[in-house]
């Protein structure tokens, strides 16, 4: 039996922080991650709002540093896709596609996935011109004409990164005026001053067109209903995220948008089960807040395990 004091499900900043704290407290800890450690942070080109880096830091570098620090204190890394969990058994059970693991406590840090528009052509051309990660795919669109969808800070930040590669960018937002955009003002200002970014207000994307790959889109003016067909090479969508909680099925209480509900101590409705980072139901999803979640969860995991040991004795 592969048994641990703590299993962290997901290697984002919250999960890696929790693993670091728990490993440093001499607990046997493993992190299960299906892809790259760092989560959404890994796909962020440049991070300017995480404390301690005067000139900012790349998402890749920050992810690498967090992983190395956790490994330094003995965290075990397991690559695998979580398929099923039993959070009420003793010990708790996590099953991947190849193995079964056991733990006294669980921290869920599985993050989120990009939300899709749900329009014709989007699914068909995903990976063939439709993307949800500018940092991942920007080099494929060098000197190309592309469209970016979304009016939040993420879409603005990604558009600015894509502008380093693309010939032209049309940024589609639903709001009728700039003043109503939800993005940080500093990012909006940068977008407005970018030579190759055009803000298209009060618009929505209604169709992606193509043959073997994306060749164009149909954009609708929300106020008039008029539609315009635009020839281009790529579509980048940044309209929010969906929590990765399908594997939980009905084992935990979730919010209306499928995020895990916790108290301020990161505790879920089950003893010994915690949730941190973007997968948790909360208003602010940032690297700094995820790191804080991880530190809090690790603190209460330590107390939980110590009580288990005392009861066993």
- Domains of the chain and any CATH numbers: 2-113+241-312 (3.50.50.60), 116-237 (3.50.50.60)
Average pLDDT, the chain: 94
Q: What phi and psi values does residue 80 have, to the nearest 5 degrees? A: 180, 160
pLDDT band at 312; cut points 50, 70, 90? low
Marked catalytic residue, from 5, 45, 137, 293:
137
Task: Name the band, by pLDDT with cuts 50, 70 and 90, for residue 250.
Answer: confident
Residue 2: the pLDDT is: 92
Give Cα separations from 178 to 152, 193, 236 (angstroms). Answer: 11, 13, 20
* Catalytic annotation, pick one of 5, 48, 86, 133: 133
Confidence of residue 76 (pLDDT cuts 50, 70, 90): very high
61 a catalytic residue:
no
Q: What is the pLDDT of residue 36?
A: 80
Dist. CA 109–CA 119, nearest whole Å: 30
Q: Which residue has the higher pLDDT, 13 or 38?
A: 13
- Residue 57: pLDDT above 90? yes
Active site annotation includes 293: no
Average pLDDT of the residues in 117-133 = 94
Residue 313 pLDDT more than 70? no
Give the tokens for residue 96. Answer: 């991947």
SS3 112: strand
Checking if the pLDDT of 55 tops 80, the result is: yes
Q: Could you confirm whether 143 is annotated as catalytic?
A: no
Which of the residues 61, 136, 257, 265 is marked catalytic? Answer: 136
């Amino acid at each position: 039996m592969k048994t641990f004091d703590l299993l962290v499900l997901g290697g984002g900043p919250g999960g890696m922080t929790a693993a670091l704290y728990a490993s440093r407290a001499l607990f046997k800890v493993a992190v299960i991650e299906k892809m790259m450690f760092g989560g959404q942070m890994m796909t962020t080109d440049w991070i300017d709002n995480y404390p301690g880096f005067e000139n900012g830091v790349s998402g890749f570098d920050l992810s690498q540093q967090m992983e190395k620090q956790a490994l330094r204190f003995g965290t075990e890394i397991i690559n695998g896709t979580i398929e099923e969990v039993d959070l009420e058994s003793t010990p708790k059970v996590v099953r991947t596609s190849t193995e079964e693991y056991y733990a006294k406590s669980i921290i869920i840090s599985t993050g989120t996935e990009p939300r899709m528009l749900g329009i014709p052509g989007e699914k068909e051309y995903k990976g063939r011109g439709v993307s949800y990660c500018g940092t991942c795919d920007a080099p494929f669109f060098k000197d190309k004409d592309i469209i970016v969808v979304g009016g939040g800070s993420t879409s603005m930040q990604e558009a600015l990164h894509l502008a380093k590669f693309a010939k032209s960018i049309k940024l589609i937002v639903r709001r009728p005026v700039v003043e109503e955009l939800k993005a940080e003002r500093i990012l909006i200002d940068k977008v407005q001053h970018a030579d190759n970014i055009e803000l298209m207000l009060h618009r929505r994307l209604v169709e992606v067109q193509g043959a073997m790959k994306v060749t164009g889109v149909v954009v609708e003016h929300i106020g008039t209903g008029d539609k315009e067909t635009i020839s281009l090479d790529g579509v980048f969508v940044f309209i929010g995220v969906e929590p990765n909680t399908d594997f939980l099925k009905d084992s935990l209480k979730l919010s209306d948008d499928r995020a895990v509900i916790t108290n301020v101590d990161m505790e879920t409705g089950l003893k010994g089960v915690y949730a941190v980072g973007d997968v948790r139901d909360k208003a602010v999803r940032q690297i700094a807040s995820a790191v804080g979640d991880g530190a809090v969860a690790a603190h209460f995991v330590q107390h939980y395990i110590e009580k288990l040991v005392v009861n066993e004795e």
